Structure 1
Amino acid sequence: MQPSPVKRRFPRSSPYWPVVSHPQLRRVLPGLAISALGDGMSIVAISWLALQLAPTAQRGIWVAVAVAAYSLPSAAGGVLLGRFMSGRGGAQLAGWNAILRAVSLAAIVALYGLGRLNAATYVALLAVSSLLAAWGSAGRYALVAELLPGRHHLPANAVMTTIGEFATIVGPPLAGFLIGWSNAVVVIAVDAVSFMLLAVTYRLALPAPARRAETAPARTGGFHLIRREPALIGLLSLSFGFFLLFGPFYAALPIHVAEDLHAPATLLGAYYTAFGIGAVAGGLITGYLRRWRLWPTTVGIVIAFGAALLPLGLGAPTGLALTSFALAGAVWAPYMSTSMALFQRSAPADQLTRVLAANGSVLVIAVPLGTVLGAPLVTAIGARETLLACAVATLALGGSAAVLIATRAGAAARRAPAPDVPDA
């Protein structure tokens, strides 16, 4: 009679234990948390410093350009720098991104201290700082695939996502406090230091490996690799549509609060806080989904997210609308983790960073593009109606993906050879 296995207790029974106890990852996670907090603070500081530097009559334009400059150039970097980045390890790519961020932000601080910083130079340095962002993100998720077996990818991805979501809750109020105490440049200096600490963490905890040989030519980009895999094309299309349809919320929700509800800005803040709290909760739950099938889970998230947004678009009472928006945040959080796990499992290991960088280059423009397209939609049909239209469109997107997956699964089952039946 064999002895019954010893049942592990929390925290060792948690799906996150293999991630946080990993001898290398556990050295990196504190640096990631500090850097994420710095980036969460910069959400406020970047626009606030743009307000200080811009001419009074052009403040709105320069704020929008500054915010875009801190993210959108990563799309160009993801496409144009593939030849130089291919074959690099995940830690090396993530470390290079951290160094570029730190140096560029430090240059902003230095020029401000010398009295030589103007709006144009500020935007240019923000743009330079974001050039490797797609590769940095690709490096983080490639690192997970390099260090952990496939069964731990989803919990590890969830840890990465939850760190970022938590920072977006804590970072902005902390930035507001520091700006009130001093100015926005202090916050940007803190962000620069946080990125330098992250770069040092990558270098010391995970020394750069030798450059790997590749099975595909260096000139073959991530988009070419994605086009060769129908599943990856479908995943990229689903993700782009999902993020694009959420973009109009940033244009419609403030107008809905101000004009439809005649409520103060505190209610708008409450919506974002509710979404953030839900996202943190959803991120913590994600690791427990590791036994679920990834494709149905990913598509189900899209459908559930659209359904959670319906009360807001239908004009539900504020309490119900806030609750549904928090639920939407909880549903939203696992999406990046499950979609990254699909990429980690589908793309060859030596091509993973290029595929992830291409994916990041597309997704980084999806939400801003949706926000820009949402503005005329709000003007044409109204803010609440725009929220409803996006919720319905998200449901339709998820439903279409579910039908397509079911159809392909049925076709594959019909093509499979029938089992041999022994003669009677």
Structure 2
Amino acid sequence: MTAVRTTRLLPRAYRPLLAHPGFRRLLPALAASDLGDGMSVVAVAWLAIEIAPPGHSGMLLGAALAAYALPGALGALLFGRLLRRLPPARLLAADSLIRAVLLGCVPLAWLTGTLHPVLYVALLAGSSVLHAWGNAGRYSLVAEMLPADQRLPANALLSASVSASIVVGPALAGFLAVVVSPAWLIGVDAVSFAVLAVMVRRPGGPAAGKAVPPAGADAADRSAAGLRLLRKQPELLGVLALTWFFNFLYGPAEVALPLHVTEDLHAGAGLLGLYWTLFGAGAVLGGLAAGTLRRFPLWPVTLGIVAGWGLALVPFGLGAPAPVTLACFTLGGLIYGPFTALSYTLFQERTPAAWLTTVLAARSAALLTAGPVGTALGGPLAALLGPRGVLAASGLATVVLALAGTGVWAWARRRRPTTAQGRTAISVRP
């Protein structure tokens, strides 16, 4: 009876999702791994600062953050021929298992006194090598489980889970980092991925139907067809390009924020955790609100999100006090909230089911090169401009990106004035 009452309190768009057995079992396991990653937002950066040689904290921080994501793009290229044949559940389980093992080595190395900066970066890099395929498996599995009219709310829940983990995870990490080494927090992240790997692979888990390619198509043919499909979808390419530059310009800010907390504000891990907690709280609200709407005008929403996030970073460069920048970071999260769900829903709607895992892996691989490249530049830029200067420059460049995207969008509309409404909006119902 209590469960029924709780379901009735939910917005109508989310009720069918919690009534679906496979999705209902999958969501808590994904939430557990998201929480572990939320703690690692603080732990990976803080541990890099702790073990860095004197005067090299910014460089090691950028290298660690890049290593935690960038090798996933390489894995998408190297293992594509093998992994394209696997169903989404097995891709998700394989990625989770590798993350569990290699991230689990971080606290062990720290405990034995062998956690050299090079080893730390190598373990982070190895843990992310299947990230593109694991991420593709997550959203392909959801697309297989659910009918088309439930995908946007499902994607909104998944992105809200990530955002909620940024509310709880950094707050826990900031509190616990005062008591224990951040290496142990990375170990908790490893345990969360072990839970996800076991849950997905156990009998009765959410192993939805396999995305079987057309008969007679080998891996090379499927790869080529997937690329041809993307080339024939200007909306997909446009959103992918916008997202790539958006993530690239965010990268330096991710490096600059911890340095801003330590060098400019002379504060500790607790304040860094609070920044990410408030960002996540805003993103949860924005993401969940997105899942309740029937239609999204694609380009106005995405361009508005990009511009809004950029404006939220500008006050950092103006020397605004911490309470003001905390409020700006919260607003930035609220603005960003719908972006991920909107993007994935577009790809799910425009891509045939047999090619969805391949296309999403290509998407993830492309995007995995964006943020890490930006974070790798963050260290040198912080040394040149200072943390405040990097945050402001990132924000202003992001606003310029939104303005450039608006110009391209307006030009494309003038060239094709008869474009149907369905090609510029995401529908929850066909």
Kept in 2, the 8 Å contact 1:94–1:135? The answer is yes
Matching residue of 1:86: 84
Kindly tell me: are residues 140 and 316 of structure 1, through their superposed partners in 2, closer, same or farther at Cα, counting changes over 3 Å?
Answer: same
Shift of the 392–350 alpha-carbon distance from structure 1 to 2, 3 Å rule, reads same
After superposition, the Cα gap between the structure-2 partners of 1:181 and 1:328, relative to the gap in structure 1 and judged at 3 Å, is: closer
What TM-score does the superposition give when structure 1 sets the normalisation length?
0.82
Superimposed CA distance per residue, residues 127-181 of structure 1 (whole angstroms, 9 cap, x where no aligned partner): 2221111111111111221122222222211211121222223223434555555
Please, which of 183, 189, 192 is the counterpart of residue 190 of structure 2? 192
Aligned to 2:425: none
The 1:214/1:314 distance shift into structure 2, 3 A limit, reads: farther
Q: Which residue pairs with 1:359 in the alignment?
A: 363
- Asked if the contact 2:61–2:255 (Cα under 8 Å) also holds between the matched residues in 1, the reply is no
Could you say which residue in structure 2 is the equivalent of 1:160?
158
Question: Is the CA contact 1:95–1:199 (under 8 Å) kept in the aligned structure 2?
Answer: yes
State the distance in 1 between where 2:286 and 2:419 align: 38
Code of the aligned partner of 2:82: F
Closer, same or farther: CA 213–20 of 1 in aligned 2, 3 Å: same
Amino acid aligned to 1:339:
S
What is the 5 A alignment of 1:287-366?
287-314=291-318, 319-366=323-370
User: In 1, are the aligned partners of 2:67 and 2:125 still within 8 Å (CA)?
Assistant: yes
Q: Secondary structure at the match of 1:24?
A: helix
Is 1:218 the counterpart of 2:219? The answer is yes
- Kept in 2, the 8 Å contact 1:178–1:186? The answer is no
Write out per-residue CA displacement over residues 398-421 of structure 1, whole angstroms, 9 at most, x where no aligned residue. 2332333343334333599xxxxx
Instruction: Return the letter of the residue paired with 2:144.
Output: E
Secondary structure in structure 1 of the residue aligned to 2:416? helix
Change (3 A) 1:202 1:243: same
Closer, same or farther: CA 411–166 of 1 in aligned 2, 3 Å? same
**What SS does the aligned partner of 2:97 have?**
helix
**Letter matched to residue 164 of structure 1:** V
Percent identity of equivalent pairs = 44
- With 339-348 and 290-299 compared, the bigger mean Cα shift is at 290-299
Residues 151 and 290, structure 1, Cα contact 8 Å, conserved in 2 = no
The two structures, once aligned, show a CA RMSD in angstroms of 3.5
**Contact 2:62–2:255, Cα closer than 8 Å, also in 1:** no
Deviations 1:92-133 (A, max 9, x none): 211111111123234555666777765544443332221111
The 1-side partners of 2:97 and 2:262 are apart by: 41
- Residue range with higher mean Cα deviation, 171-180 or 31-40: 171-180
Give the Cα–Cα distance (whole angstroms) in 2 for the partners of residues 332 and 247 of structure 1.
15
With over 3 angstroms needed to count, the CA separation of the structure-2 counterparts of 1:380 and 1:288, relative to structure 1, is: same
Inter-CA distance 357–409: structure 2 relative to 1 (3 Å threshold): same
Matched with 2:406 is 402
Quote the Cα distance in structure 2 between the aligned partners of 1:53 and 1:387.
Answer: 24
* Structure whose CA Rg is larger: 1
> What amino acid does structure 1 have at the position aligned with 2:136?
A
- For residues 278-323 of structure 1, what are the alpha-carbon distances to aligned partners after superposition, in whole Å with 9 as ceiling and x for unaligned? 2222222221234223343222322333344444445556544432
Instruction: Please say which of residues 214-223 and 401-410 is displaced more in the overlay.
Output: 214-223
CA distance in 2, matches of 1:62, 1:385: 20
Q: What residue number does 2:131 align with? A: 133
Match in the other structure for 1:371? 375
2-side partners of 1:367 and 1:131: how far apart?
A: 15
Q: 2:95 aligns with which of 97, 102, 113?
A: 97
* Residue in structure 2 matched with residue 145 of structure 1 by the alignment: 143
How many Å separate the matches in 1 of 2:111 and 2:325? 45
Residues 349-378 of structure 1, C-alpha deviations (whole Å, 9 max, x = no match): 211112211221222232232234355555
Note the alpha carbon deviations across 1:170-217, whole angstroms, 9 max, x for none.
Answer: 223434555555544543443232212111211232236456124765
1:26-37 → structure 2 map (5 Å cutoff): 26-37=24-35
Letter in 1 for 2:372: P
Secondary structure in 2 matching 1:206: coil
Runs (5+) with no aligned partner, structure 2 = 1-6, 421-430
User: Partner of 1:16: helix, strand, or coil?
Assistant: helix
Amino acid at match of 2:153: P
2:305–2:335 contact (8 Å) kept in structure 1: yes
Give 3-state SS (helix, strand or coil) of 1:104's partner.
helix
